[in-house]
Structure 1
Amino acid sequence: MSGKEAQRLKKLKATDLAPWATSFWVVHRKPAQAPFVYNVLRVSIDKKLERRLKRYVKAQVQDREFRLEPYDFSNADPGESLLTLDADTTDFTKVRDAIGQGFDNPRAKSHAELLGSFAYVVLFEKDGEHLYAWSKINTLNSPRKAVRTKTLYFQDQKLVDVEDEEVFMIDPRFDFFVFAGTTFIASKSAFESSMNFREGMKAKSRELLEEFASMAFLSDVEPIRAYVGENQHHLRKLAAIKNAGYYSSPTYIERLMRVCRDEGWNLKIEGGKIVVEEETMDLLLKLLNNDRLRSPINDEVFDSSAKKAVSQPGAGA
């Protein structure tokens, strides 16, 4: 992790958002398949809501301590961490550019214009600086959900039907923030579904299988292609293998085959190639991503996709 993300987060945490202008935008995404087009509508909000939105940012990010980790396809959903990614590598640039058109965007004039929203974005800005806070609309904060569940409000000493109030639900937690060129991700799953990262995983998978075919250390790549298909878990695994890049070293592949024979692991190796079989596909993908590890404490062997190199004593001295 480079220091720039840490410095940007430090600056964000220290920023007093009280004097920053606040605007609220709903996002519509179309068509159903990528590449997506994003349109935005301006939504008028009152001063009370502005203050509440700033409190949400303060509670979620500014008043908490986080570890920063670079985003990777294999990351788990962060808890006490924020995942970081260059903001220009995501679909958010399309949303940012749409919001950047400012008053050229239409203003939402009816509740019906909010019902089909894909997400909403709160923009805080001052003196040329911008903080974007994104929340994907899901079943919990969908305005349609509020209508279907017959939510009632107690106002002026009486219950009020939600249909009379034309409710729009918001969540006190945002999925990710974009500030000073960095995306800070609080919900990995929501980020990936919002920013079209499934297509990114599919592209990585295609590139990887093409490399496998050219390297010729596997008997056949087509069974892998059929096994992975459109399955998001399997696509994520191939994308992680591509990013880690262990397979690109001939020495790594040679040692992988030797260790499989020595340890009695079930990969079939014939004629200097790994035979790709459906029944050992999961093991093959784990080993290509170096997911089988041994504890130096009790010599136990276990599978883990979460790998963080441990500094050796005296390293870098």
Structure 2
Amino acid sequence: MPDFSAWRTFDYDSATVQLWVFKKSTTGLKFRAWHVRTDETIEALFKETIKREVNATNEKFAYTAIAQNNEASCLVHALEDSENLITLLNLVDSPEAENTDAELKHLKGAAGYLVKFQSGERTVYAVRRTAPNWKPRVRSSLINAIFKNGELSATPEETFSFDSFFDFYCINETVLVKSKRAYESTMSEKKSYQKNFDSLTLDPKFTSIFSDIIPLKEYVGTNAMQLRRITVIQQKAVYLREEFPERVRLVNGTRNYGLNFDAEGRIIVCSKTAKTVMQILLDHRLLSEITDSIYDVQDTEAVK
């Protein structure tokens, strides 16, 4: 992927650096953002942070609702798939004259911060969810102190902690995610997953394969991981295959999955079978032709 290579080979040393803090908004804009003035020391630390992260990331995988990465990899997807991130980037890309420099009240309680690296015509955006001590309630319970000349003294000055890593990045038209949980929380992706589930449970083509959809709704609830799985189920749409109900009954009998069906052949979901039903809808209950063993897997990659 060209953008992955461009992110790794970007000239961070010569780049200009801008720091922005942002808060979520209930308006159509989704976010409010403020530019924060920084000195050369802070900017140099940001450069070292991103260079270290880039050098440690040498693999990429396609971003899906249930895909996971490790410390040496990231998940990638097209920027067009994240409406909220596009909104945030548009805010920080508007002319600085139209934005107010951040005041102390804007930093307190900020949802996250974005560091913008610019080198020529190229830009890399690095985003991190703020630490808990940025929240006013937490800050009021802290005592700020400095250690100087062998003595620890209280200081009335406000302090803000920046982590030595970022949660996700954007370059050109590609988003590169290092921390999926932080990315989805910051960009409010869970809300979209919930909407997907709500719409799916109203789809007759989906609900018609069950005797009662309520037990499945109770199993999924508001659990973030289950909602991600529902999104994948909706995308794969295995349940729409004409032979799906018959195949499920056949394999259930052959492999003893333990599913139950009503008189019309519809799946009866209960607390004991809900997990199995989800794996079947995901097409994640697989048979090894080598060992003849059945496995439940977290994700799949088609070989052919």
Please confirm whether the aligned pair reaches a TM-score higher than 0.5, indicating the same fold. Answer: yes
Aligned length: 301
SS at match of 1:166: coil
Q: Residue 38 of structure 1 aligns to which amino acid in structure 2?
A: F
Partner in structure 2 of residue 184 of structure 1: 176
Q: Residue 52 of structure 1 aligns to which amino acid in structure 2?
A: L
The farther-off stretch of 167-176 and 36-45 is 36-45
For residues 244-268 of structure 1, what are the alpha-carbon distances to aligned partners after superposition, in whole Å with 9 as ceiling and x for unaligned? 2222212344222210011222111
Is the aligned partner of 1:130 residue 2:123? yes
SS at match of 2:32: strand
In 2, Cα distance between equivalents of 1:187 and 1:140: 20
Displacement of 1:217 in angstroms is: 2.3
TM-score for the superposition, normalised by structure 2: 0.90
The farther-off stretch of 280-289 and 270-279 is 270-279
In 1, Cα distance between equivalents of 2:165 and 2:139: 18
Is the aligned partner of 1:28 residue 2:20? no
Partner in structure 1 of residue 270 of structure 2: 277
For residues 120-141 of structure 1, what are the alpha-carbon distances to aligned partners after superposition, in whole Å with 9 as ceiling and x for unaligned? 0001113332211000013266
SS at match of 1:298: coil
Q: 1:52 to 1:147 in 2, by over 3 A?
A: farther
Partner in structure 1 of residue 50 of structure 2: 57
SS at match of 1:250: coil
- Contact 2:23–2:111 (CA<8 Å) still a contact in 1? yes
In 2, Cα distance between equivalents of 1:94 and 1:156: 47
Aligned ranges for residues 137-152 of structure 1 at < 5 Å? 137-139=130-132, 145=138, 148-150=141-143, 152=145
SS at match of 2:254: helix
Provide the alpha-carbon RMSD of the alignment: 2.3
Q: Residue 203 of structure 2 aligns to which amino acid in structure 1?
A: E
TM-score for the superposition, normalised by structure 1: 0.86
- Contact 2:205–2:240 (CA<8 Å) still a contact in 1? no
Displacement of 1:187 in angstroms is: 0.0
SS at match of 1:68: strand
Moved runs in structure 1, 4+ residues, more than 4 A? 140-147, 212-215
Q: Residue 15 of structure 2 aligns to which amino acid in structure 1?
A: W
In 2, Cα distance between equivalents of 1:89 and 1:160: 49
Q: Residue 273 of structure 1 aligns to which amino acid in structure 2?
A: R
- Contact 1:146–1:167 (CA<8 Å) still a contact in 2? no
In 2, Cα distance between equivalents of 1:35 and 1:257: 47
Q: Residue 69 of structure 1 aligns to which amino acid in structure 2?
A: F
Partner in structure 2 of residue 315 of structure 1: none
SS at match of 1:134: strand
For residues 36-69 of structure 1, what are the alpha-carbon distances to aligned partners after superposition, in whole Å with 9 as ceiling and x for unaligned? 72111111100111111011110001x1342211
SS at match of 2:56: coil
SS at match of 2:217: helix
Aligned ranges for residues 39-78 of structure 1 at < 5 Å? 39-61=32-54, 63-78=55-70
In 1, Cα distance between equivalents of 2:134 and 2:88: 20
Q: 1:151 to 1:109 in 2, by over 3 A?
A: closer
Q: What 5-or-longer segments of structure 1 have no aligned partner?
A: 1-5, 312-317
In 1, Cα distance between equivalents of 2:146 and 2:72: 34
Is the aligned partner of 1:104 residue 2:94? no
In 1, Cα distance between equivalents of 2:140 and 2:2: 43
Partner in structure 2 of residue 120 of structure 1: 113
Is the aligned partner of 1:175 residue 2:170? no
Displacement of 1:147 in angstroms is: 6.3
In 2, Cα distance between equivalents of 1:206 and 1:149: 41
Q: What 5-or-longer segments of structure 2 have no aligned partner?
A: none
Displacement of 1:92 in angstroms is: 1.0
Q: Residue 99 of structure 2 aligns to which amino acid in structure 1?
A: N
The farther-off stretch of 178-187 and 226-235 is 226-235
Identity %: 23
- Contact 1:67–1:82 (CA<8 Å) still a contact in 2? yes
In 2, Cα distance between equivalents of 1:115 and 1:254: 57
